Amino acid sequence: MKQKIKIYSFFKYILTFTYAFLIFYVSSQDTSSVTLPVFSDKIIHFFEFGLLCFMICWSVFSFSIRIKHIYIVIIAICITSLYGLSDEIHQYFTPHRSVDVLDWFADTSGAVTAGFFWKMLVYKLQRRQKSLAMGKTPINM
């Protein structure tokens, strides 16, 4: 049973790192021929890095049972925000790409929003587990 949990946890880390690499790869591509509506790139950044933060929470949660959940969320937000900052710096050195502070702000905003949703999801799941353990009717999600 422990081996199965370790493999599952390892799989979560692999998925998270693969997604982070995918972000890096896409930000390395030339986008001079791509035209997007105004501010749509900010929406893309918001959801792209929000998903990364959610995946980091999902990965870290499996190994950090003793850490309070809010600390996991804060750590995930910080990691995601720093990764977004490093991505913007990386784009400075990429031809036909530019650094935009608003992109980093969208990255961080997405991370904060995803962290909030992660915390709410964990809270609801824990309440549901407690209700089931006490023999009560489960709380609707």
Confidence (pLDDT) at 63: 67
Give which of 59, 18, 58, 43 is closest to 109, Cα–Cα. 43
Helix 101-133 to helix 69-92 angle (10° resolution) is: 160
Q: Which amino acid is at 112?
A: V
The tokens describing 5, both together, are 């949990």
Q: How many CB atoms lie within 10 A of CB 124?
A: 13
Domains of the chain: which residue ranges? 2-29+40-133
Does residue 140 register a pLDDT over 70? no
Does residue 54 register a pLDDT over 60? yes
Specify the higher pLDDT residue, 129 or 56: 56
Does residue 97 register a pLDDT over 90? no
Q: Summarize the confidence of residues 118-139 as an average pLDDT.
A: 81
pTM: 0.85
Q: Summarize the confidence of residues 122-127 as an average pLDDT.
A: 86
**Mean pLDDT, the chain, as a whole number?**
87
